[in-house]
C-alpha cells in the first residue's frame, strides 16, 4: 500500500469507546499507521515513544479530559506542532470555541460521517507535513546539514528557559577555522566548501550525544551547546575535537602559519541558576563571552582554546 522508503503518517486515536476505535480503524487504515490509546496515560506513552503526526482525541476519558491532554501537548515545544482533532459527543458552541482556544486543529461531533473524518485527517496531515518540512529547512544549514544559527538560537532559548535543575551548568563553544581566507584564496571556493564540510562532520562526531546541539553559526564558524556540562567536563571534549580536526590532515595554504587546517575555540559555562541575569539586549551573555574567548584564542596565536 505504502511506497518503500516513505514512512506512512502515524495516527494516534485516543478514545475509551471500543466501538468508536473500531470504526475509526476502518476509516483510517488506508491513510496511515494507526495506534490506539484508551486513556491519557496510554496516550502519553505512545506520544513519547513514537511521536504521532496527528491525534484524534476524545473529550471524556477515564483518567483525564481531552482538553487537558491538548493543553499539555500545546505547552511543550516537542509536541506543540502535532495537530489535534477532537471527536466528541458534546455539541455546544461555547465548547467548540474553548477547544480551538486550547490549540485544537479541528472539531468533529459524534455521530460522525467516516468519510468526512478521513478527509479532515488527510487535510491536517498535509498541513503538518508541509509545516514540518518548512521547519526542518528553516533550521538546517544547506552546506553541511548541521543546524543553522536559527536552530542554535532556538535551542539555546529552550535549553536555558526550561532548565531541569538549577544546580546544573550549561556550556557553549564557538569554533572558527584558522586563516580560512588564505585557504579559500589558495584552493578556491569549491575546495573551501569541502573543507568546511569535513570540519563540520568532525565537530558533529565529537559532540554527538543526543542532548548536544551543533550548528554552523556563520561562514566558517561553528557553535555547540552542551547542556549539563561544566567547564571541566567540556575541556577534554574540546581537546579531543581539536585533535580529530588536526588528524584530518587537511593541507593548508602555504601562506598560512600552520601546515594543516586547525580551529580556534572560545567557550563559556554558566549555572542555570543565574541564567536570567545573563540575558541582555536580546542576546545571551554566554554566547558573547564564548565569542570574546574565541577572539582571545585568535590573538594568542590560533590553534588553541580559551575560557
Bridge partners (DSSP) of residue 266 are 174, 306
**What cell was used for 254?**
602555504
Eight-class DSSP state of 52: -
Residues 158-187 touching ligand GH3, rule: CB under 6 A, are 176-181, 184
Stretch that binds Mg ion, among 40-48, 57-65, 120-128, 243-251 (CB under 5 A): 57-65
Contacts of 198 (CB under 8 A, 6+ apart): 248, 250
CB 204 within 8 A of CB 146: yes
Number of residues that bind ligand GH3 (CB under 6 A): 16
Least distance (Å) between residue 192 CB and ligand GH3: 3
Query: Which of 180, 183, 217, 305 touches Mg ion by CB under 5 A?
Result: 180
Least distance (Å) between residue 273 CB and ligand GH3: 34
CA 22 to chain centre: 35
Of 106 and 179, the one with the shorter C-beta distance to ligand GH3 is 179
Orientation of helix 149-161 relative to helix 114-139, angle to 10°: 110
Q: What is the largest CA-CA distance in the chain?
A: 77
Least distance (Å) between residue 104 CB and Mg ion: 16
Q: Which among 220, 255, 280, 296 is annotated as catalytic?
A: 220
Tell me which of Mg ion, ligand GH3, none is bound by residue 16, counting a contact when its beta carbon lies within the kind-specific cut-off of 5 to 8 angstroms: Mg ion
Residues 208-247 touching ligand GH3, rule: CB under 6 A, are 219-220
Contacts of 248 (CB under 8 A, 6+ apart): 198, 199, 202, 260, 261
Of 209 and 300, the one with the shorter C-beta distance to ligand GH3 is 300
The yes or no reply on residue 89 touching ligand GH3 (CB under 6 A) is no
How far is residue 230's CA from residue 271's CA, in Å, rounded to a whole number? 8
Tell me which of Mg ion, ligand GH3, none is bound by residue 302, counting a contact when its beta carbon lies within the kind-specific cut-off of 5 to 8 angstroms: ligand GH3
Can you give the binding site for Mg ion, defined by CB under 5 A?
16, 58, 60, 154, 176-177, 180, 221
- Which residues are catalytic, by number? 220
Amino acid at each position: 500500500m505504502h511506497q518503500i522508503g516513505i514512512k506512512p503518517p502515524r495516527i494516534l486515536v485516543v478514545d475509551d469507546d471500543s466501538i468508536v476505535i473500531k470504526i475509526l480503524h476502518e476509516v483510517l487504515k488506508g491513510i496511515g499507521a494507526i495506534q490506539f490509546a484508551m486513556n491519557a496515560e496510554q496516550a502519553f506513552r505512545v506520544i513519547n515513544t513514537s511521536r504521532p503526526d496527528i491525534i484524534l482525541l476524545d473529550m471524556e476519558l477515564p483518567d483525564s479530559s481531552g482538553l487537558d491532554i491538548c493543553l499539555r501537548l500545546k505547552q511543550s515545544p516537542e509536541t506543540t506542532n502535532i495537530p489535534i482533532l477532537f471527536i466528541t459527543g458534546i455539541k455546544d458552541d461555547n465548547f467548540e470555541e474553548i477547544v480551538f482556544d486550547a490549540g485544537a486543529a479541528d472539531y468533529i461531533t459524534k455521530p460522525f460521517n467516516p468519510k468526512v473524518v478521513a478527509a479532515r485527517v488527510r487535510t491536517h496531515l498535509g498541513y503538518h507535513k508541509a509545516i514540518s518540512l518548512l521547519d526542518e529547512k528553516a533550521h538546517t544549514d544547506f552546506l553541511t546539514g548541521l543546524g543553522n544559527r536559527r536552530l542554535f538560537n532556538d535551542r539555546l532559548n529552550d535549553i536555558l528557559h526550561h532548565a531541569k535543575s538549577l544546580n546544573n551548568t550549561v556550556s557553549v563553544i564557538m569554533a572558527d577555522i584558522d586563516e580560512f581566507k588564505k585557504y579559500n584564496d589558495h584552493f578556491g571556493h569549491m575546495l573551501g566548501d569541502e573543507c568546511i564540510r569535513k570540519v563540520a562532520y568532525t565537530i558533529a562526531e565529537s559532540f554527538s550525544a543526543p542532548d548536544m546541539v551543533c550548528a554552523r553559526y556563520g561562514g566558517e564558524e561553528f557553535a555547540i551547546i552542551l547542556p549539563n556540562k561544566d567547564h571541566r567536563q567540556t575541556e577534554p571534549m574540546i581537546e579531543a575535537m581539536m585533535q580529530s580536526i588536526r588528524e584530518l590532515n587537511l593541507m593548508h595554504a602555504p601562506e598560512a602559519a600552520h601546515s594543516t587546517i586547525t580551529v580556534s575555540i572560545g567557550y563559556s559555562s554558566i549555572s542555570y541558576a543565574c541564567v536570567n541575569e545573563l540575558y541582555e539586549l536580546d542576546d545571551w551573555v554566554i554566547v558573547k563571552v564564548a565569542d570574546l574567548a574565541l577572539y582571545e584564542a585568535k590573538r594568542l596565536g590560533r590553534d588553541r582554546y580559551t575560557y
